[in-house]
Each structure stands twice: as structure tokens, then as C-alpha cells.
Amino acid sequence: MTDPTHALSFGAAAAEYDRFRPRYPQEALRWALDGVPAPARVVDLGAGTGILTRGVLGLGYEVVPVEPDPGMRAQLAVATPGTAALDGSAESVALPDGSADAVLVGQAYHWFDRERAHAEIARVLRPGGTFAPIWNTRDERVAWVAELSRVAHLGDNAGNVIDRYADFGPAFEPVAAGEFRHTTTLTPDEVVGMLHTRSYWLTASPEEQEKIDRELADLFATHPDLAGRGTIEMPYRTVVLRSRRR
Ligand SMILES: C[S@@+](CC[C@H](N)C(=O)[O-])C[C@H]1O[C@@H](n2cnc3c(N)ncnc32)[C@H](O)[C@@H]1O
């Protein structure tokens, strides 16, 4: 599932990405960091524009973001005054052994070369430290959300992450899973703006992009739960997987 073309396609649209993507609910972050009292050192792997970094900073932790894409790192620096991301990846983190109390990952674990990443995360964590990847997934049990995902080819909703990813290898204890619900309020134009930050749209041909935009406009104009609405409550499920380093 690691695809560098798609991973790096985010960089050019970093500012839009930061504007539209959902934030992580505080209760999910507190659950991820249960047993890791602030101020502890938390590494945010695949930090992107810093959405998760800022959530964790807000809880009083020291955060070290790590991000391979220069466009994302530049946007993170602008949006997160006083914090600069390290150039690096989940497979190669420029931090000493045992130097982190926790490693979090927002919406990026599925891009990693997991076997190499598990070894590198275990190296960077102190014994007993926490590793927790987190996903904000659209709640596709809501009919219009499922339709939106189909139209915009949002095939990467990591809805079944618990089954797919709940094993971090021999250096980690068994994985616990937590799930949290929340919504974000967006105008229809902002939903379209957000969909334009998705890797499928960014890498689609101009014809395909036009087709998607036409079908989206149709959905907003005709779906009974959406037609005539100035704003839309987009429902999300936040899923956290959490384990401790042995
Ligand atoms: C969907 S974005 C998530 C960004 C941020 N964590 C958030 O929650 O908004 C995925 C990020 O993972 C980064 N990424 C892709 N492959 C990676 C890897 N192997 N190691 C670390 N980061 C990676 C991408 O550059 C991108 O910034």
C-alpha cells in the first residue's frame, strides 16, 4: 500500500489540505496518550501540515513532527509557530534510541513499510513507551457519505483498520482499539475543496476531475439530506490503535 507518488501528491495542495481536513477529537488523543503524562515527548510520524501535532501540543506535550514531504513541512512551519518538522520517514527517524515517550501517527500508518517502520518506532521509543496510529474515517454508515465516497473515489477510507492493522510485530504488546465519534461543519464548497486534496482527485486526469465535480454538484443539489443546505455536518469516526513497546 506504500505508494510514493500518492504520498508526495499531497505536498502541492498542503495549504488546502490543512484548511479542510478534520481535526482529531481531544478525547481520542487523551485515550491514545493514556499513561503518558504531559509534558512528555511525543513524536508525530507523517505529521503532514501538523493537524495532529497541534492537537497534541494543545494537551501540553512536547511534540517532534517528522515528515518526508517538503511542501507539507513548509505548511506545518507556517501553521504551527515555534515548531519545525524533521525531514524523515517512519522507516528512518533522525532521533536517538529510546528518546520518545510516545509515537503517534495521524492518517499515515497505512502508507508505511510496516515491518521497517515497526523496528524504527521501537528503536525511537523508550521501553514501555506508547505507539498509537490514529485515523479519522468518514462514517459511511450514513447514506450520503457513502455516496460521496463512491462519487469521489475515496477508496482509502481506512474503515476496517482494526482488522487490518492491529498487529505491530514482536517489539510491541497486544494492540487495544478505541473509537470516537465527531462531526465537522463544512459548506458544500468546502466539502468539494476538501475532496480536491484527496490523492485520487489530485492524480486524476482533467476529464476525470471534471466528471467528479459534476457528480458532486449533482449530489449536493439533489440528495434529500443535502439539497438547499448552507452547511453540512460531516460525520467522522476516529479510530485509535494503541500498544506499548515491550
Ligand atoms: C494523509 S497525510 C496525514 C498528515 C497528518 N498526520 C494529519 O493527520 O493530517 C499523510 C502524510 O504521511 C506522509 N507519509 C507518506 N509516507 C510516509 C512514510 N513512509 N513515513 C512518514 N510519513 C509518510 C505524507 O507525506 C503525508 O504528509
Among 10, 44, 197, say which to mutate for ligand 1: greatest number of ligand atoms within 8 Å of CB.
10
* CATH number corresponding to 4-139+155-183+236-244: 3.40.50.150
Q: What mean pLDDT, rounded, does the chain reach?
A: 91
Pocket probe mutation, ligand 1, options 16, 64, 72, max atoms within 8 Å of Cβ = 72
Question: How far apart are the CA of 47 and the centre of ligand 1, in A?
Answer: 6
> What is residue 22's three-state secondary structure?
coil
> What span, in angstroms and rounded, lies between the C-alpha atoms of 226 and 186?
12
Closest residue by Cα to residue 236 from 164, 158, 162, 121: 158
Determine the pLDDT at residue 158.
59
A 10 A CB-CB count for 143 gives 11
Q: At what angle do helices 206-222 and 188-195 cross, to 10 degrees?
A: 150
Residue range 165-177: average pLDDT? 97
pLDDT of residue 155: 72
- Percentage, residues of the chain above pLDDT 90: 81
Is the pLDDT assigned to residue 3 strictly greater than 70?
Answer: no
Task: List pLDDT tens digits, range 83-125.
Answer: 999 999 999 999 999 999 999 999 999 999 999 999 999 999 9
- Residue 52 CA to ligand 1 center (angstroms) comes to 11
Q: Which residues have C-beta atoms less than 6 Å from ligand 1?
A: 7, 10, 21, 45-48, 51-52, 67-69, 72, 89-91, 106-108, 111-112
Closest CA relative to residue 120, chosen from 92, 100, 101, 99: 92
pLDDT of residue 10: 54
Confidence class for position 5, pLDDT limits 50, 70, 90: very low
Q: Could you tell me the pTM of the whole model?
A: 0.88
| pLDDT at site 199 | 81
User: Model confidence at 198, in pLDDT bands (50, 70, 90)?
Assistant: confident
Dist. CA 215 → ligand 1 center (Å)? 28
d(CA 201, CA 42): 32
Residue, of 65 and 12, whose pLDDT is higher = 65
From CA 105, how far away is CA 85, in angstroms rounded?
14
216 alpha carbon – ligand 1 mean position (Å): 26
